[in-house]
Structure 1
Amino acid sequence: MSNYDTMITRQRKYMFYLLAILVLGAGFTPYPRIFLGLLLGSLISFYNLWLLQRKINNLADAVEEKRSVRGIGTLSRLTAVALAVVVALRYEDYFHTIAVLIGLMTSYLVILIDFVMSKSKE
């Protein structure tokens, strides 16, 4: 398994742990609206992370085979973010809008933490 594959596996595992913590927070704390907002944003963020990793793999395969590739899916990732914001605005009784926006950034936080942890081991 290459370094990239192990990095992808680690990042997905961290995101699953974070999602599990957010589910517990939504179920057992007196702030379910905030945790549901974080959960919605983090789910979309996880989807975007998975989509980006898949597109990067396709790009690497295309470079190896010397063929062109359409792109890395920016429009589809932005559409998912817009959908999360629309859902949060439509159902404000269930989702805290600012928490959704913070949740959308969690995959970048996971990538940063993974990078720092991997560099500190070297």
Structure 2
Amino acid sequence: MSDIQNLFIRLRGYMFSILALFAIGWGVTPYKTIFLSLIMGAAFSFYMLWTMVRSQQKLAKALKEGKKLRSLGTFTRFAIALLAVIIAVEYPKLFDPIVVLLGLMTVYIVIVIDYLIQILRNK
């Protein structure tokens, strides 16, 4: 397995755990809007991670074959984030747009935490 696939498997496990914690928070606490917003933001964030990994795999394949790659999918990730914010603004009783933005950053926080764990593990 390649390094990017191993990284994705680790990050996927972290993201599922975080989504499960958000779902428990939504079910147990009275802060339904906040946790539902975090769930939506984290779910869209996870989808952005998946598209990022997929584009990296396409890039690696194109480099091996000596072909050019058209794009790395930045526009797609911006569109996904915009869609999440539009949904949050459209349904203000269910979602808080600011918390959705925080949820969208979940994958980047997970990447940093995974990086720190790997540094500690390699020492």
Report TM bin, short chain: over 0.9
2:109 corresponds to which residue? Answer: 109
1:121 corresponds to which residue? Answer: 121
Give the residue type in structure 2 aligned to 1:33.
T
2:3 corresponds to which residue? Answer: 3
What is the CA distance between 1:73 and its match in structure 2? 0.6
TM-score (normalizing by structure 1): 0.96
Post-superposition Cα deviations, 1:61-96, rounded to whole Å, max 9, x if no partner, equal 110111111111111111111110011011010111
2:87 corresponds to which residue? Answer: 87
Unaligned runs of 5+ in 1: none
CA RMSD between the two structures:
0.9
Question: Hey, what's the Cα distance between the residues in 1 that align with 2:3 and 2:79?
Answer: 30
Question: Hey, what's the Cα distance between the residues in 2 that align with 1:91 and 1:21?
Answer: 23
1:97 corresponds to which residue? Answer: 97
Unaligned runs of 5+ in 2: none
The 5 Å alignment of 1:1-122 reads 1-122=1-122
Question: Hey, what's the Cα distance between the residues in 2 that align with 1:22 and 1:95?
Answer: 14
Match of 2:71, SS state, is coil
Question: Hey, what's the Cα distance between the residues in 1 that align with 2:77 and 2:88?
Answer: 17
Post-superposition Cα deviations, 1:19-53, rounded to whole Å, max 9, x if no partner, equal 11111111111101000111111111000000001
- The alignment covers a number of residue pairs equal to 122
Give every structure 1 segment of 4 or more consecutive aligned residues whose post-TM-superposition deviation is greater than 4 Å.
none
Question: Hey, what's the Cα distance between the residues in 1 that align with 2:50 and 2:3?
Answer: 17
Question: Hey, what's the Cα distance between the residues in 1 that align with 2:35 and 2:97?
Answer: 11
Question: Hey, what's the Cα distance between the residues in 2 that align with 1:95 and 1:4?
Answer: 33
Question: Hey, what's the Cα distance between the residues in 1 that align with 2:3 and 2:71?
Answer: 23
Post-superposition Cα deviations, 1:86-116, rounded to whole Å, max 9, x if no partner, equal 1101101011111101001000001101111
